[in-house]
Structures are given as structure tokens and as C-alpha cells.
Amino acid sequence: MTKLSVNINKIATLRNSRGGDVPNVVQFAKDVQRFGGEGVTIHPRPDERHIRYQDAFDLKPEVYTEYNIEGNPIPKFIDLVLKVKPTQVTLVPDAEDAITSNAGWDTIKHKDFLIDVIKEFKQNNIRTSIFVDPIKSQIEGAKETGTDRIELYTEAFAHDYALGNKDGIKPYAECADLANKLGLGINAGHDLSLDNIQFFKENIPGLLEVSIGHALIAESLYLGVENVIQMYLRKLS
């Protein structure tokens, strides 16, 4: 059973573009869960260009499924997560100016740092996951950090799959086998979509959770736009 956690960053991006509260991020999270979403993911960035730190607090009482907060564990982020106490924190090594996440951790180089922050989150009963590229040595390094789970960074797979290259799944399947042997839970995310998710799921043994935002919101627009245009036309007729 693979859980679907819906990343709602894009809803906050849309809201912020007008400066008001439409769409309302908390209401959207409530609806995600009402429609069957099994988790809500947010990824507050230091510039708060989409999810704001305050959103993380506002969402807490309303997220009764799994609450996953992603981000680079800079002091401000660690402080936020320890106060909000989500179900899971996913550590991502983003540069401050990154447009979106673009690499996994070097779990060997940053081993000591990761051990320290993971320990602190786990002492506070927050499950940990770390964002990693599908490289076996990085999975072995992840095990050394004490993390509960890894999140496989799926951008390369999604890119290959869109070009018709299904072999791009191979390093992911091999790393999943290794993670399963090492007792690491497996999450995945980035650029997963209606096009590629089934193939990914079928080839990744023990996939516990996927977090999907960008494609899911874009697909929702396309799948909903006809209905909304018809509703406007009815009101105007």
C-alpha cells in the first residue's frame, strides 16, 4: 500500500500571487483529505514564496492524515518543525535560491550533520526521511544517519520516462531493494504524475509513500476547467 501525500505548495503560490487568501490553503488541505488524500505535504522555503511558516502552524489542527514538512534543516526550519510536530519531516538539501529541489543529500559528506538533526527530530517523536538520489552508496550512507526513511528523488526517472526510456527506473529499483534490505522505509517524490506513477509504483518494492504537487495541481486544472467554464456559461446565459 503506497500512501498519496498531496503537496500543496502550488496552492500557496496561487494565493500569494494576489496577496489575499484565495485559494485558502487550509481549506484546500481539508478538501484533499475529504477527497481521499492520505497525507498533506508542505515545503516552506526560506523566502516563503509559497508556503509561509505561519501556514505550517495553521495547518496543524486540520491535518488528521499524515502531515509531512519538507525542507533544508537550517535553524529556522528545525525550530519550526519542532514547534509544529508533524508526523514526518523530510530533509532536503536545497540551496536558498533553488527554484525547486534539484539534488539529494550527499549522505557520506554530511553524515555527522544528518546524524545530529535526525536524532533531535526522532527524540521529539517526528519520523524522519531524507531526500536522496538513486545511488547505492548514498542509500548505505542514509542508513548510517539513523533516518527512518529515505525519499527517492524521482526527477531523473520522470524525465527519462517522458522521453520513452523506461530503463531509467533501474537505479531506483536497485536502490529500493537495498533500502528494503537495510530496513529503511521508502518514500518518493518530484515530478511524479498521472503519466508515470503507476509504472514507478509497480517497479519499486516496498514504496510506502509518494508526495506529489506540481503535476497533481496542473492535472487538476486541466481535468476541472471544462466543468468550470460550463458553470460560468450557465450563469451568463
Ligand X SMILES: CC(=O)[C@@H](O)[C@H](O)COP(=O)(O)O
226 is catalytic: no
72 binds, among ligand X, ligand LD2JLWAY, none (CB under 5 to 8 A by kind): none
190 is catalytic: yes
**Does 69 participate in binding ligand LD2JLWAY (rule CB under 6 A)?**
no
Q: Quote the CA–CA distance of 162 and 154 in Å, as a whole number.
A: 12
Q: Which of 26, 63, 139, 215 binds ligand LD2JLWAY (CB under 6 A)?
A: 215
70 is catalytic: yes
Is 97 labelled a binding residue? Answer: no
Q: Which of 55, 66, 70, 94 binds ligand LD2JLWAY (CB under 6 A)?
A: 70
Q: 98 or 229: whose CB is closer to ligand LD2JLWAY?
A: 98
Is 65 labelled a binding residue? Answer: no
Q: How far is the CB of 231 from ligand LD2JLWAY (least distance, A)?
A: 28
Contact track, ligand LD2JLWAY, 141-180, x by CB under 6 A: ----------x-----------------------------
Is 133 labelled a binding residue? Answer: no
- Count the neighbouring beta carbons within 10 Å of the beta carbon of residue 24: 14
Q: Quote the CA–CA distance of 134 and 167 in Å, as a whole number.
A: 13
Is 52 labelled a binding residue? Answer: no
DSSP assignment of 101-117 equals ------TTTTHHHHHHH
Q: 181 or 204: whose CB is closer to ligand LD2JLWAY?
A: 204
Torsion 226-231-235-237 (CA) sign: positive
Helix-then-strand count for the chain, H and E:
10, 8
Query: Among candidates 40, 50, 49, 104, which has minimal Cα distance to 72?
Result: 104
Is 213 labelled a binding residue? Answer: yes
Q: Which of 105, 189, 196, 200 binds ligand LD2JLWAY (CB under 6 A)?
A: 189
Q: 134 or 213: whose CB is closer to ligand X?
A: 213
Cα dist from 25 to 14, 17, 171, 218, whole Å: 10, 13, 36, 16
Q: Which stretch binds ligand LD2JLWAY (CB under 6 A): 59-67, 73-81, 198-206, 208-216?
A: 208-216
- Count the neighbouring beta carbons within 10 Å of the beta carbon of residue 137: 11
Q: Quote the CA–CA distance of 170 and 6 in Å, as a whole number.
A: 26
HSE toward the beta carbon, residue 179, CA cutoff 13 A: 32
Please report, in range form, the residues annotated as the binding site for 1-deoxy-D-xylulose 5-phosphate: 45, 50, 100
Where in the sequence numbering do the catalytic residues fall? 43, 70, 190
